Structure 1
């Protein structure tokens, strides 16, 4: 079977699993379980907690001990079992621990899927900068397919979303064992020190200014991504409380409206090689930050009626905001690190974006919203919330070009020139 097709199928299922519940778990929480908003904020932090240590840990394991594709499969099989049990939970405290266990298994698969894909492509003498983005598109299509499946079957507030995700996760786990072999590149005892033998070499990247700054901004943008994941769908659902908007399409099918963001991703993924070649990694990252400003700013002034065009435009801009840092960032790590630590380095990147970044975004936004933007009747001042988030992204964009003084080196330019 064609290697590209096999990796396409892997990416499709990888993000279908996430898309089946990530943006709709809030609706399930508030409208099905009727648990509190404060408790929900803690639940959503599980992604960040697990991403702090699991991607880096599994990266170390795949670099030294276990084939990446086998570890990838094990994670998905275990995650499937946890997702299947999630609807059985009857109290928010237990829900926290079960969803945390699910994220412990799921989060490392994001970086492991990249390691498996890059290794498979390189073993076929293919160019990862040119050939990976069109493959990764199908992950986004999988996310969209999951959102539409859950929305059109009216399962946005139903436990069925977790059963759907569980079934696909089990299928992917089994399928993973048929993927091209991705063996460890370091022997178990090749290191000369405890740090080497434990596979912690990748953490030395923090000593390099370009990587220290890169990882710092990865965390800050990870917080921006968390804001979208946690509040985007809830923002649209809240318009249901306003009589003028109650029967609008955006309120009836918020998950489908939000899926425009993922549709946009497919276009911007294809544009990444061109932008990398034309502008370089630094400015591609800067474009991402400016796109986050627009993403939040348009939400601030949009509504499901006359302002629907602003919500849709915000979703379109999301494609640039997400892809231009996340995908380009993974390519940056791939081309700037040695083969022996690439699995660990990709894990570190995921740890900063989806770990520390997600935690920072969850806790900071929760405090800010409760303190400044929650009204007496418990409704939220969404205009103020989104403008605050836009100001945050703008500050990052202004500071970034002055502190990230990196220019392309030969490794990345050689890769890009073959696009």
Structure 2
């Protein structure tokens, strides 16, 4: 099997694991287990907390101490064991700790998979800009495939979805040991400083104006990443409270409508090479931020009948909003950091966007919605989405003004060396 196909399998399984349970865990929590909703919000906080703690640490380990593909495999096997144990849990507190353990293993593998793919592709003289996005798109296909599998087999609220995810995780863990070797980039010398011995070199990037700004904006935009995942399905479902929309297709099949967002991701990932080479990394990331404004703004004015086109367009725009920042941001790290700290830097990017950004975004959005946009138990979705759109617009304008990065085609070419 060729290198590209082997990395495609890795990408597919990487996100298949997540898609098998992430979107449907609420059905298991409220339906099968019939637990209360008070603790459920904490389940999603494990994603942010894990992204704060683990990617930077595992990136350092991969840069300094152990082959990246081996560390990747170990994490997936341990995460698979945790997922296997979840169906045995019979109380919400234990469930939280077990899912937290699974996420501590899973979340760092997202950035590690990028580092492994870049490393292997460059070592085999592939054009990373052209080759990586079509490989990465299969991750989104894997996520969608897992959602369809759990739904079509009537397992979206059963313990079996965790078994499906666990089997995929362990298979991927074993498979990763067959990938080409990705050894640590830098051996530790006797004269190394304490910072170098601990593998904290990548944190020096915060001392550079451009990189510090990039990480700060990663955190701000990361705050927007989970908002529609957290609230999108609830928003569509609550149209049932409006008599004229109660029996609409959107209300009955809200999850299918939301899945258009993931399908859109597959298309925009493939468009990234064209946009990067034509406009450069800064412009592509700015396009992403403006796409978030559209994502939220269209939701604000959409409805299940004459405004259905806005809801569907919003889901399509999501692909651009999500991919253009995540993939382009990862490529920015790849082109602007020393190869010796590249895995660590990818971990920092993950920590700031999916860690601090997602954690504080979820926490603060809940507070804002409860205090300012909830009246007598009813949520004012129109103004909720407008406030999110306003937030994204402020971030976009600040990024355009403050972040200085001139497009240099040679930066793109450097991805291949």
Length-normalised TM-score, structure 1: 0.94
Hey, what does 1:396 align to over in structure 2? 395
Distance 1:26 1:242 in 2: 24
Distance 1:235 1:87 in 2: 29
Structure 1 position 357 matched with structure 2 position 357: yes
Hey, what does 2:108 align to over in structure 1? 108
Distance 1:106 1:193 in 2: 31
Hey, what does 1:185 align to over in structure 2? 185
Hey, what does 2:48 align to over in structure 1? 48
Q: Quick check: 1:147–1:256 contact (8 Å CA) kept in 2?
A: no
Distance 2:44 2:62 in 1: 27
| Deviation string, structure 1 residues 345-392 (Cα, Å, up to 9, x no partner) | 00001011111011111110111122122332x343222222221111
Greater displacement, 38-47 / 403-412: 403-412
Matched positions, count: 416
1:157–1:372 Cα change, 3 Å? farther
1:383–1:50 Cα change, 3 Å? same
Map 1:254-403 onto structure 2 (within 5 A): 254-376=254-376, 378-403=377-402
Question: Alpha-carbon deviation of 1:28?
Answer: 3.3
Distance 1:129 1:163 in 2: 35
Greater displacement, 19-28 / 346-355: 19-28
Greater displacement, 88-97 / 99-108: 88-97
Question: Alpha-carbon deviation of 1:306?
Answer: 3.6
Which stretches in structure 2 are left out of the alignment for 5+ residues?
A: none
| Deviation string, structure 1 residues 277-317 (Cα, Å, up to 9, x no partner) | 21111111110001001111112222334433222111100
Distance 1:166 1:52 in 2: 23
Q: Quick check: 2:205–2:211 contact (8 Å CA) kept in 1?
A: yes
Hey, what does 2:173 align to over in structure 1? 173
Distance 1:157 1:251 in 2: 19
Which stretches in structure 1 are left out of the alignment for 5+ residues?
A: none
Hey, what does 1:208 align to over in structure 2? 208
Distance 2:394 2:198 in 1: 38
1:321–1:89 Cα change, 3 Å? same
Q: Output the aligned Cα RMSD.
A: 2.0
Question: Alpha-carbon deviation of 1:413?
Answer: 4.1
Structure 1 position 145 matched with structure 2 position 132: no
Distance 1:191 1:361 in 2: 42
Distance 1:102 1:76 in 2: 9
1:175–1:304 Cα change, 3 Å? farther
Q: Quick check: 1:191–1:197 contact (8 Å CA) kept in 2?
A: no
Q: Quick check: 2:129–2:412 contact (8 Å CA) kept in 1?
A: no
Q: Quick check: 2:188–2:196 contact (8 Å CA) kept in 1?
A: no
Question: Alpha-carbon deviation of 1:164?
Answer: 1.9
